[in-house]
């Protein structure tokens, strides 16, 4: 099975073609570019590039996997809308996965782990994982000092993700989701041929824009 994996939940714009077999997740091609302000400009050229590198036309893909965050509104929407549009055009299923879970797949090892990424506004997105990479808490959005205190309570021994250095733990790679990490999170559903759940972005914050209130009366 050939799977396109994309993620725009972090400053990295990630795209890759991954071969999923009965017992392995194999990378065919990947492109990762770091620019938090150019997700829309960079993603589709990256998708076309990885398909070319892998010798896999878009029409040969069997599924799409996309990171659903948590992440900032604008960047996250780029990846999810692109994945949904490709799935619709190609007639293939689109599976959404938590982007922090994908980082945890690559970072899992000795002891409990935190995955921490930039949420802006002096806050971070984070989730906690056991040594096998299974999520046990989160995702949340909080100040780094609060996360550091929670890390001690959870007994975390390391942190991964782009903001891992803010919580006082030894830092492990990667900083952003890899194509193989994204597909590994969805692997059981893909292998089983399960219908994907509706795509739901993990914003964790309410949007800044609000509906305007009633007009104020102007006295004569």
Q: Per-residue pLDDT tens for 44-90? A: 999 999 999 999 999 999 999 999 999 988 899 999 999 999 999 99
Closest residue by Cα to residue 50 from 11, 86, 104: 86
**CATH code 3.30.420.40 region(s) in the chain:** 2-98+177-192, 100-172
Torsion of CA 185, 177, 82, 25, to 10 degrees: -50
Chain position carrying tokens 């040594």: 131
Tokens of 193: 């041929």
pLDDT > 50? residue 108: yes
CATH of region 2-98+177-192, choose from 3.40.605.10, 3.40.50.620, 3.30.420.40, 3.30.930.10: 3.30.420.40
Closest residue by Cα to residue 43 from 62, 66, 63: 66
Closest residue by Cα to residue 106 from 165, 178, 41, 35: 178
Count of CB atoms situated within 10 Å of the CB of 94: 22
Phi, psi of 69 (to 5 degrees): 95, -165
CATH code for the part of the protein at 100-172: 3.30.420.40
pLDDT, tens digit, for every residue of 156-205? 999 999 999 999 999 999 999 999 999 999 999 999 999 999 999 999 87
pLDDT, tens digit, for every residue of 11-23? 999 999 999 999 9
Cα separation, 150 vs 209, whole angstroms: 31
Average of pLDDT values for 91-111? 96
Terminal CA-to-CA distance of the chain, rounded, Å? 72
Parallel/antiparallel/unpaired status of strands 25-34 and 123-129: unpaired
């Amino acid at each position: 099975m050939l799977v396109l994996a994309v993620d725009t939940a972090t400053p990295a714009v990630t795209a890759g073609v991954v071969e999923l077999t009965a017992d392995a997740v194999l990378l065919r091609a990947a492109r990762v570019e770091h620019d938090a302000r150019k997700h829309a400009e960079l993603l589709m050229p990256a998708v076309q590039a990885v398909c070319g590198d892998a010798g896999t036309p878009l029409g040969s893909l069997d599924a799409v996997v996309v990171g659903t965050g948590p992440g900032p509104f604008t960047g996250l929407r780029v990846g999810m809308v692109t994945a949904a549009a490709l799935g619709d055009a190609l007639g293939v299923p689109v599976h959404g996965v938590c982007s922090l879970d994908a980082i945890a797949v690559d970072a899992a090892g000795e002891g409990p782990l935190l995955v921490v990424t930039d949420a802006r506004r002096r806050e971070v997105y984070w989730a906690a994982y056991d040594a096998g990479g299974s999520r046990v808490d989160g995702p949340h959005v909080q100040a780094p000092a609060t996360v550091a205190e929670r890390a001690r309570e959870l007994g975390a021994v390391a942190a991964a993700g782009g903001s891992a250095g803010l919580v006082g733990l030894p830092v492990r790679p990667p900083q952003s989701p890899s194509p193989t990490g994204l597909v590994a999170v969805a692997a059981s559903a893909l292998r089983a041929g399960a219908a994907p759940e509706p795509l739901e972005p993990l914003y964790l914050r309410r949007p800044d824009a609000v509906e305007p209130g009633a007009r104020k009366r102007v006295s004569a």
